Amino acid sequence: MSRRTPIESQRVDAPLTQSATFLVLSVTEQPDAIKTARSALASVDDLCKNVSIRDLDASFACTVGIGSALWDRLLSDVPRPVELHPFPKIEGKVHTAVSTPGDLLFHIRAQRRDLCFEFERQLMDVLGESVKVIDSTVGFRYFDVRDLLGFVDGTANPVGAAVNESVLVTEADDSHSAGGSYVVVQKYVHDLAAWQRLSTEQQEAVIGRRKFDNVELADQEDDGKQKPHKQLATIEDPHTGAELSILRDNMPFGNAGQGEFGTYFIGYSSKLWVIEQMLERMFVGSPPGLHDRILDYSRALTGTTFFVPSATVLAGLGDD
Q: Which residues belong to the active site?
A: 153
Q: Which of 158, 179, 254, 267 lies at the binding interface for ligand HEM (CB under 6 A)?
A: 267
Q: Which of 37, 66, 205, 294 lies at the binding interface for ligand HEM (CB under 6 A)?
A: 294
Phi-psi region of 272 (alpha: psi -120 to 50; beta: other; left: phi over 0): alpha
Answer yes or no whether residue 166 interacts with ligand HEM by CB under 6 A: no
Q: CA 265 to CA 229: how far, in whole Å? A: 14
Total residues found in the chain within this entry: 320
The answer to whether the CB of 308 falls within 8 A of the CB of 183 is yes
Answer yes or no whether residue 22 interacts with ligand HEM by CB under 6 A: no
Answer yes or no whether residue 156 interacts with ligand HEM by CB under 6 A: yes
Answer yes or no whether residue 246 interacts with ligand HEM by CB under 6 A: yes
Which has the closest alpha carbon to 60: 32, 20, 33, 28?
Answer: 20
Which residues in 206-245 contact ligand HEM (CB under 6 A)? 207, 209, 229-230, 233-234
Which residues in 126-155 contact ligand HEM (CB under 6 A)? 147, 149, 151-155
Cα-to-chain-centroid distance, residue 154: 12
Q: What is the total count of residues that contact ligand HEM (CB under 6 A)?
A: 25
Q: CA 259 to CA 191: how far, in whole Å? A: 9
Answer yes or no whether residue 310 interacts with ligand HEM by CB under 6 A: no
Please report how close the Cβ of residue 13 comes to ligand HEM at its closest, in angstroms.
16
What is the DSSP code string of 8-36?
A: ---STTPPP-SEEEEEEEEE---TTHHHH
Q: Which of 63, 186, 226, 312 lies at the binding interface for ligand HEM (CB under 6 A)?
A: 186
Please report how close the Cβ of residue 151 comes to ligand HEM at its closest, in angstroms.
4
Please report how close the Cβ of residue 248 comes to ligand HEM at its closest, in angstroms.
6
9-17, 55-63, 134-142, 261-269 -> range binding ligand HEM (CB under 6 A)? 261-269
Q: Which of 137, 226, 269, 298 lies at the binding interface for ligand HEM (CB under 6 A)?
A: 298
Q: CA 179 to CA 174: how far, in whole Å? A: 10
Which has the closest alpha carbon to 42: 271, 312, 266, 223?
Answer: 312
Q: Which of 12, 78, 90, 275 lies at the binding interface for ligand HEM (CB under 6 A)?
A: 275
Distances (CA, A) of 94 to 28, 90, 103, 289: 35, 11, 29, 8
Count Cα neighbours of 79 within 13 Å in the Cβ-side half-sphere.
10
Answer yes or no whether residue 279 interacts with ligand HEM by CB under 6 A: yes
Helix (H) or strand (E) holding 143: none
Please report how close the Cβ of residue 145 comes to ligand HEM at its closest, in angstroms.
9
Helix (H) or strand (E) holding 46: helix 44-52
Q: Name which of 21 and 203 has its Cβ closer to ligand HEM.
A: 203
Q: Name which of 135 and 147 has its Cβ closer to ligand HEM.
A: 147
Q: Name which of 24 and 149 has its Cβ closer to ligand HEM.
A: 149
Residues facing residue 185 across a β-bridge: 266, 304
Chain contacts with ligand HEM (rule: CB under 6 A): 147, 149, 151-156, 186, 188, 207, 209, 229-230, 233-234, 246, 263, 265, 267, 275, 278-279, 294, 298
